[in-house]
Amino acid sequence: MTTDEEAIAKGHAAAQEAMRGGQLREAHKHCLGILKRDQTFADAWFLCGVIASHNGQHAKAIEIIENAVKLAPDNAEYRTELGKNLIASNQTEWALREAQTALSLDPLQPAVLNTLGTVFSHAGEHKSALLCFTRAAQLLEERAGGTKELSIQWQADFYFNSAASMQFAGHFAEAEQAYERAITLQPLMFKAHSALSTLRRQTSTDNHLKRLHELRNKVSGPRDQLHLGHAIAKEQEDLGHYEDAFKHLTWAKQAQSAAGSYSAQSDKELFAGVRQLFSQEVFDALRAGCDNPEPIFIVGMPRTGTTLVEQILSSHSQVYAAGELQNFPLQVNRLTGSSTDNAFNIETLEKSLQLESSVLGSAYIDSTRSRTGHSQHFIDKLPLNFVFLGLIKLALPNAKLVCLRRDPMDTCLSNYRQLFAVNFKHYKYNLDLLDCGRYYIQFDQLMQHWRKVMPGAVHEVEYEALVGDPEQVSRDLLAYCNLPWEEGCLSFHQRKTSVATPSAVQVRQGIYTSSVNRWQSYGDAMQPLYELLKSAGLYV
């Protein structure tokens, strides 16, 4: 071994040891020393990329890890880490390619399979995600030393990720066991407690309320409080204790609301700006969009039946459910050169009207091709796309636009009851019940605007009508989508497909009416919301 080789080996061992000890600066120093001697030492590039990723520098991490992948294209761990950073950078199509390549290399490290599973899950490929988690679990069971070298935190995170994937796939009993394993390892993993509470209807003899109440004095921050309060509220509602459920919902959101920065006025200005930008004159002007007829956009307020309609439509032989795609807003951002990662702003929407409509439409279709193109139609079920309906119509005039509508009170309560992803800023209105009402009013006014400026373009489905007469409403829906009737559309709950939304449990139950007028069970607590919605003309 030469002097350089000895120095590189010594530096590599030191870098790995520093990484294990969380000494990232020290590890980075050793890696730079290696690369000064040998630019082709792949693992030094890889470790530098991991350090950049750990510091939130995902674009830099992608650039660095690409060097490692080029030098060692058959290393599954490198491609997996690249995929993770691509997901964090909203480059889903590329991430999916890397993940598929990594899986084809048959990785045997549980840690790599765990990360790979989360990449697939974020990319909407839940079957592949479950395969990764299952394979990792088998390896953990088979390995001679058990899991001694894996931290308790890692193991808890693994079982949580695995449980979430099982839940999406409809394996609820297995998911419950995995969540319990995560909780056994980390009793204060509050997100596991909240997820566990949603898996089934709790009963007076089989619930987790005693354990949940004992955790109240162990909450250490707003996020813990949010998860625990939602878990308690869900189980109390299952038992018919609506007053206690509402109190715990209020408690759950207090700290997070105080720490947040939601502004109902900002959303009001955004929605008013959209109505002003997309005037009748915009639609009267002749524009040639992309004529692709494949997309079916399902939009609406969350928790109004969007997943139910997605499952009905995707049970049709000509339709594929591609999930809640971020592709349309991402393409708007890319083509307008937006300086923000948030396309839901007036500046970006103003620029979007200067784009060639056909270019935007084609860019959107092309961007979905890692998941679409194998069926006559695909569903894009991103609820917030209701803001973009006018732009979608201009860019994709042959796309089908479906909007779910539900009783305003039930919509607002369902949004308030839902534990959305904490880091998703567009749903922060749900930290306050009256803010839910204010948001609904703006949503309703925008839908009235779309009806006015592009009449007949959006097929609106009333949730109450759908659950009351599912066959007729489904027939009308398929007719709007130019699809022939298929009986299987009413048997969607019997399909073995993954459902990666908060409705994953409910849609497995088929169509039911018990959620209609749910708000009335909450009594006087709903009165301020009712008065707000009534003042906006939503009730007489």
CATH of the domain at 313: 3.40.50.300
Q: At what angle do helices 408-417 and 527-535 cross, to 10 degrees?
A: 130
The Cα–Cα gap between 391 and 442 comes to 18
Check pLDDT > 70 for residue 412. yes
The Cα–Cα gap between 502 and 108 comes to 32
Q: Same structural domain for residues 354 and 452? A: yes
The pLDDT of residue 9 is: 93
The Cα–Cα gap between 270 and 247 comes to 32
Q: Same structural domain for residues 236 and 270? A: no
Q: Same structural domain for residues 441 and 323? A: yes
The pLDDT of residue 421 is: 84
Write the CA distances from 501 to 276, 283, 382, integer angstroms: 32, 34, 11
Q: Same structural domain for residues 289 and 218? A: no
Q: Same structural domain for residues 425 and 506? A: yes
Domain that holds residue 225: 187-260
Check pLDDT > 60 for residue 90. yes
Check pLDDT > 60 for residue 503. no
Check pLDDT > 60 for residue 498. no
- Structure-derived torsion over alpha carbons of residues 206, 207, 210, 215, reported in degrees to the nearest 10: 150
The pLDDT of residue 499 is: 55
Q: Same structural domain for residues 240 and 322? A: no
Q: Which two tokens stand for residue 359?
A: 């270019």
Domain assignment present for 27: no
Q: Give the model's confidence band at 143: pLDDT under 50 very low, under 70 low, under 90 confident, else very high.
A: confident
Domain assignment present for 37: no
Domain assignment present for 349: yes
Q: Give the model's confidence band at 497: pLDDT under 50 very low, under 70 low, under 90 confident, else very high.
A: low
The pLDDT of residue 504 is: 53
In the numeric block, the tokens 């921050």 are attached to 221
What is the mean pLDDT of the segment spanning 219-235?
97
| pLDDT higher at 170 or 95 | 95
Domain end: 213, 239, 260, which one?
260
Q: Same structural domain for residues 382 and 440? A: yes
Domain assignment present for 117: no
What is the mean pLDDT of the segment spanning 292-302?
97
Check pLDDT > 80 for residue 54. yes
Count of structural domains within the chain: 2
| SS3 annotation, 434-502 | HHHHHHHHHHHHHHHHHHHHCCCCEEEEEHHHHHHCHHHHHHHHHHHCCCCCCHHHHHHHHCCCCCCCC
Check pLDDT > 80 for residue 146. no
Terminal Cα distance for the chain, rounded: 86
Q: Same structural domain for residues 253 and 322? A: no
Q: Give the model's confidence band at 286: pLDDT under 50 very low, under 70 low, under 90 confident, else very high.
A: confident
Name the nearest CA neighbour of 426 among 345, 500, 522, 498.
345
Q: Same structural domain for residues 255 and 270? A: no
Q: Same structural domain for residues 418 and 323? A: yes
Q: What percent of the chain has pLDDT over 70?
A: 96
Q: Same structural domain for residues 387 and 464? A: yes
Check pLDDT > 70 for residue 506. no
Q: Give the model's confidence band at 64: pLDDT under 50 very low, under 70 low, under 90 confident, else very high.
A: very high
Q: Same structural domain for residues 499 and 365? A: yes
Give the model confidence (pLDDT) of 22-44 as tens digits: 999 999 999 999 999 999 999 99
**Global pTM value:** 0.89
Q: What are phi and psi of 465, to 5 degrees?
A: -70, -40
Domain end: 260, 275, 292, which one?
260
